[in-house]
Amino acid sequence: MSTDVKTFRFLVEGGKASGGPPIGPAIGPLGIPIKDVVDEINRLTKDFSGMKVPVEVTVDLKAKTFKVEVGVPSASALIIRELKVEKGSGDPGKDKIGNLTMEQIVRIAKIKRKTSLAKTLKGVINEVLGTCVSMGVTVEGKDPREVQKEVKEGVYDDLIKKVEAESSGEI
């Protein structure tokens, strides 16, 4: 990579980035209009409103151009958004903060799929269910570990196939 290119990584609230720290002080001295960078970040992250989103800004110092790439929020952030709560349980073994449907779990897994190391959507679903365990979230009114076993046994195969078909454009 040329020394004429600089890359910055920020964690911003979806749709609410500003020209203040950390973005302004990092990019301002490079001669790139901060407002343009912030407007682009906010446009690309508006669907993640209320969530912390990783963003990468690559600046070409010679051409005075920039490119913004948006990462994927954490599984816990996506679960919190789905449940409309402030945070996970302080004692997930005893205190439950909410219940998700399997459809919500699959939707979260679809978002997380591109950053997951799991080979299949089922694998990503099990990762999301594992996050539910540590956050004090039930799924379909059950302990997420029980739902993980059901996923392995094929109980939700029809739902998973339907979601995979939708995302590949077959439906």
Rounded mean pLDDT, 138-147: 96
| The pLDDT of residue 9 is above 90 | yes
Q: Which positions ≥6 away from 137 have C-beta within 8 Å? A: 79, 83, 88, 89, 96, 97, 98, 99, 100, 144
- 75-168: CATH number: 1.10.10.250
DSSP letter, residue 71? -
Band (129; pLDDT cuts 50, 70, 90): very high
- DSSP assignment of 137-166 equals EEETTB-HHHHHHHHHHTTTHHHHHHHHHH
pLDDT at 34: 94
CATH of 5-70, one of 3.40.605.10, 3.30.1550.10, 3.30.2270.10, 1.10.10.10: 3.30.1550.10
Every domain of the chain with CATH number 1.10.10.250 lies at 75-168
pLDDT at 161: 86
| The pLDDT of residue 48 is above 90 | no
- Sheet containing 52-60, strands listed edge to edge, beginning at the edge strand earlier in sequence: 5-13, 52-60, 65-70
Rounded mean pLDDT, 112-118: 90
Rounded mean pLDDT, 138-163: 93
| The pLDDT of residue 56 is above 70 | yes
Among 106, 108, 85, 109, smallest CA distance to 97 is for 85
Q: What is the pTM of this model?
A: 0.77
Band (50; pLDDT cuts 50, 70, 90): confident
Residue with tokens 């995302």: 167
Phi and psi torsions of 55, nearest 5°: -130, 140
pLDDT at 167: 63
Band (8; pLDDT cuts 50, 70, 90): very high
Band (52; pLDDT cuts 50, 70, 90): confident
